[in-house]
């Protein structure tokens, strides 16, 4: 477990989170994740703190509307999402790995990535093709 800071591109939205990147991250092939190059690590609410910029966040939802994909109104970056899914143990934050500040690329190269076939609602299996994700 390590304490990270993170932010949107312009720095308006800032957060802190205690994250174990070596516990794994996720990429998915659903249309949203593919188009936005979504790479997330799941964080429980007690390990996440929004430091600034809450009033600069806007929300995007689709489908079952169980996840709030939040993005900065100024720069458009999506530093994190929040939602509730029983499969993930209830409430959670989906922190964008790319939004973490000052992470050594060598550290990121070692992070395990689980791939999910969200395009076919087969969340427990990887898609056939992952290189583009």
pLDDT in tens, 63-107: 888 899 999 999 999 999 999 988 888 999 999 999 999 999 999
User: What is the set of domains in the chain, with CATH numbers?
Assistant: 2-114 (2.170.150.70)
- Whole-structure pTM value: 0.92
Torsion angle of the four alpha carbons 95, 97, 103, 106, in this order, in degrees rounded to the nearest 10:
150
CA 3 and chain centroid, separation: 16
pLDDT band at 62 (very low <50, low <70, confident <90, very high): confident
Distance CA 64, CA 71 (A): 19
Name the DSSP class of 102. T
Instruction: Give me the chain's average pLDDT, please.
Output: 94
- Beta strands across the sheet bearing 14-19: 2-7, 14-19, 48-52
């Amino acid at each position: 477990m390590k304490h990270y800071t993170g932010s949107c591109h312009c720095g308006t939205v800032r957060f802190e989170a205690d994250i174990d990147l070596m516990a794994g991250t996720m990429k998915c092939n659903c249309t949203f994740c593919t188009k936005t190059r979504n790479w997330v690590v799941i964080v429980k609410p007690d390990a996440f703190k929004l430091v600034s910029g809450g009033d600069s966040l806007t929300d995007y939802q689709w489908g079952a509307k169980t996840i709030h994909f939040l993005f900065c109104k100024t720069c458009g970056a999506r530093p994190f999402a929040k939602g509730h899914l029983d499969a993930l143990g209830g409430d959670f934050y989906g922190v964008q790995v790319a939004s973490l500040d000052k992470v050594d690329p060598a550290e990121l190269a070692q992070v395990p990535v689980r791939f999910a076939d969200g395009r076919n609602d087969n969340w427990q299996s990887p898609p056939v093709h992952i290189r583009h994700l």
